[in-house]
Structure 1
């Protein structure tokens, strides 16, 4: 089974962890517009794509007891200019400088960590997210967009960029394309704004599945009146999915007895145990015929 996952942030990493036990062939296409934290500092000083979410996705698929993976997760403390930086981010930066290609750098780090699945950036070219408000004001960068108090009229990329050929090829040849979960504007949306990713999503015969968060997002995205799927389609100008697994559907599919810790999922946008169970049920043979779809919503 060939599965493509599109998104960013913690949501995509959780999705990969949830799919990991299912032994599918996975390709992850990762948002690269983050401009905060260690990633933001590296971007500002080196003119590279955002590396943090890529590192997070690679480590999600690496073996937990791998010493190099443990080191790559390490974040420096009380180390002068290194303070706050993740070693994994710096490894990706070094490999990018050696290869002059983020895609190649990611492939090399995956090889070093024994990750056999495919991790790809939404683009090898640095780009930012831009929101335009109703009064015409333009807001540049994910951090500023995350802080908005009013819903933007449009959201776009600051320049035209293209995804690696492997990314569009994976979408066109996939059985399933999972989009989300995660922060709508800053994790889910950026890869969907890349022109050749849009074209591949509209041409593919794969079942395109939008996975909502298990809890409401505490951001400007929660202020708009439409469903998340409708709002994203409106921003994009095309229908990007065939099926939506809503928050209610996630609760309905996951009927296991919840432990006290599992019940805390409602405080989070995504929960690993729930995602794993829901995806296992969803991907069962004959659960759904992906060729007989008319934008269904599971709720």
Structure 2
């Protein structure tokens, strides 16, 4: 079974952690427009794509007992210009300078960490997220857009980019495409704004499942009326990018383990990975096994 995951940030790494024991044929297509933290500093200095979310997703799939995995997670402290930088980001930047192509750099870090799944950037080309406000003014940069006090009328990329061909092939051959969770405007939508990814999502025979956030975002996305994030995003994109929505209520409804709440991670913002794994396992099964489960799921997931 072929699975494609789309998004960025902590949300996508959680989904990958949940899926890793269930299926090995996974491709993740990750947003590359982040301009904050260590990633933002590297982008400003080297005009590169954002590596932070890519690093996080690679490490989610790597063996946690691998020494290089532990080293790649480390951040420099009290180290002058290196302070706050993640070593994993620096390794990816160094590899990209050697290979001259971010997707190649990502491939080789995956090889070094023995990550069997496929990690791809939304594009090898540099671009930024751009928002157009109601008065026609434009705001550029994820951090700046997240901090807005009004919802933008449109979102776009500062320059058109194309996804790697493998990302397109994987979407077209997928059985499931999981989108999100994560910051709607700055983790999920950037990938969906890439033109050839849009075309692939429109043409794929895969079931496209939008996993919503556990709680309301602490960003401009909190202004979306009635929290109908998928409807607002569909309007921005100009096409319906999902077939099913897997929200927190549906996740609890599909969790048939009958565990007391105290045994489920009560983190305010992040999904419980064990619970997510159990729910996603109801999709990741053989066709015969899925028949009865799928009928049940379609009554719960809207």
TM-score category of the 2 structures, normalised to the smaller one: over 0.9
Contact 2:24–2:117 (Cα < 8 Å) also in 1? no
d(CA) in 2 for partners of 1:258, 1:181: 24
SS in 1 for 2:274: helix
d(CA) in 2 for partners of 1:38, 1:95: 17
Deviation at 1:274, TM superposition (A): 2.3
SS in 1 for 2:139: strand
Q: 209-218 or 106-115: which moved more?
A: 209-218
C-alpha RMSD of matched pairs (Å): 2.0
After superposition, the Cα gap between the structure-2 partners of 1:296 and 1:133, relative to the gap in structure 1 and judged at 3 Å, is: farther
Match of 1:277 in 2: 278
Consecutive aligned runs of 4 or more in structure 1 exceeding 2 Å deviation: 258-263, 281-289
Match of 2:78 in 1: 78
Contact 2:22–2:284 (Cα < 8 Å) also in 1? no
d(CA) in 1 for partners of 2:270, 2:153: 24
1:262 partnered with 2:264: yes
d(CA) in 2 for partners of 1:160, 1:119: 21
Match of 1:168 in 2: 168
Deviation at 1:288, TM superposition (A): 5.7
Q: Aligned pair count?
A: 296
Normalized against structure 1, the TM-score is what? 0.94
SS in 2 for 1:119: strand
Contact 1:217–1:269 (Cα < 8 Å) also in 2? no
After superposition, the Cα gap between the structure-2 partners of 1:282 and 1:89, relative to the gap in structure 1 and judged at 3 Å, is: same
Match of 2:48 in 1: 48
d(CA) in 1 for partners of 2:133, 2:269: 28
Contact 1:71–1:87 (Cα < 8 Å) also in 2? yes
Match of 2:143 in 1: 143
Match of 2:159 in 1: 159
1:238 partnered with 2:243: no
Q: Structure 1: any 5+ residue segments left out of the alignment?
A: none
1:1-299 equivalent positions in 2, closer than 5 A = 1-225=1-225, 227-255=228-256, 256-260=258-262, 262-265=264-267, 267-285=268-286, 286-287=289-290, 298=301
Deviation at 1:261, TM superposition (A): 6.2
Deviation at 1:297, TM superposition (A): 7.1
Q: Structure 2: any 5+ residue segments left out of the alignment?
A: none
Deviation at 1:245, TM superposition (A): 1.0
Contact 2:266–2:272 (Cα < 8 Å) also in 1? no
